[in-house]
Amino acid sequence: MSESSNDDPHQVAVEQLEALGLSAYAARTYVALVGHGSGTAKSVSERADVPRTRVYDAADELSEWGLVEVEPSTPRRFVPVSADTASELLDEEFTRRIDLVDDVLREIESIEEE
């Protein structure tokens, strides 16, 4: 796994979130929200260079990951969880995935040995 050579923390965060499985739009949306605390589709679109219509899809994806809360206001506001909470959620998700891979690989090994 390589580290980004880019010194821009926004770009590094986006690259790493994408590497962890977020779509490019979701990663850019989350980073923009973290930098500004919350936002509407219009404000996020302007800050994150994500088409406004795709901000809704990105917010849905982020909500599924637990990284954004969608306030049912008009217009809808998107509120990111803290960086600490995001780190914990991502850590839990990838620990779960690693455990699953470990389990199934061991199962495959035992089947092959028989």
78, amino acid identity: F
Q: Is the pLDDT of residue 60 over 60?
A: yes
**Tokens of residue 55, six digits:** 């901000």
The CATH topology of domain 9-81 is Arc Repressor Mutant, subunit A (1.10.10)
What backbone phi and psi angles, to 5 degrees, belong to 81?
A: -75, 165
68-71 and 39-40 as β-strands: parallel, antiparallel, unpaired? unpaired
Q: How far is CA 71 from CA 47, 74, 75, 84, in A?
A: 19, 9, 9, 21
Could you identify the residue written with the tokens 């580290």? 3
Specify the pLDDT at position 3: 54
Q: Mind listing the pLDDT tens digit for each residue in 82-105?
A: 999 999 999 999 999 999 999 999
Report the share of the chain in percent with pLDDT over 70. 95
Distance from C-alpha of 32 to C-alpha of 77, rounded to nearest angstrom = 13
Distance from C-alpha of 66 to C-alpha of 80, rounded to nearest angstrom = 9
Domain coordinates of the chain in residue numbers?
9-81
Q: Is the pLDDT of residue 17 over 80?
A: yes
Split at pLDDT 50, 70, 90, the class of 54 is very high
> What is the DSSP code (8-state) at residue 39?
E
Which residues, 6 or more positions from 90, have their beta carbon under 8 angstroms from its beta carbon?
A: 20, 65
